[in-house]
Amino acid sequence: MKNRETWKSYLALIGFHIFFTIGYALVFGLGHPFARYYQPNQVIGVIMSAIGIALPMYIVAGYLYVIGRNSIQYVVVSSLKAAFLFTVVLLVFYGISYSINLEVFNRNGWLVYVLTNYPIAAVMNSFTLPSDMRSLWVIVTAFIPGLGFVFGVFLRTLTSGKGTDYYGS
């Protein structure tokens, strides 16, 4: 039963991620609203601003996920497992992109990671230096979708209350 709940959570997280990716691409295209603030060798500010935009979206997704559930049994544990699995998948894509660009800088190699984690990693389209693309601060972007989703799930389970049923009546 718990594995089934984990897969439901994982598929919901992927669904929210695809929804955000399509919506973000329709609004901003290939760019990022904070891309104009990028300065070579100073990527931390741009990455943190990208995280500042994406984190609330994933918190809302986790919150809405719990609201849409018929029962909240195993929801926190299954969401933690699903977020961990999703983060591992993003880290694998980051590792693939990083290893492609380890020897020779090729902007197309990073496209794998940018498309996989589009709402957050879209800011990488504005990076001009190879050292900025290879910055370890970029790896932080892989943790944000799962972290935001779990925080939203946890926030909703806290606000639902122990003495009430799932719908709060």
- Give the pLDDT score at 105: 66
Closest by CA position to 16, among listed 60, 46, 53: 60
- Give the pLDDT score at 166: 41
- Indicate if the pLDDT at residue 150 is higher than 70: yes
Q: CA 104, 108, 111, 113: dihedral to nearest 10 degrees?
A: -20
Q: What angle do CA 55, 57, 59 make, to 5 degrees?
A: 70
The pTM of the full predicted model, rounded to 2 decimals, is 0.82
- Give the pLDDT score at 109: 76
Burial 133-166 (b: 16+ CB within 10 A, else e): bebeebebbbbbbbbbbbbbbbebbeebeeeeee
pLDDT in tens, 65-114: 988 887 777 788 889 999 999 999 999 998 888 888 777 767 777 888 88
Percent of the chain past pLDDT 90, that is, above it, reads 22
- Indicate if the pLDDT at residue 167 is higher than 50: no
- Indicate if the pLDDT at residue 37 is higher than 80: no
- Indicate if the pLDDT at residue 33 is higher than 90: no
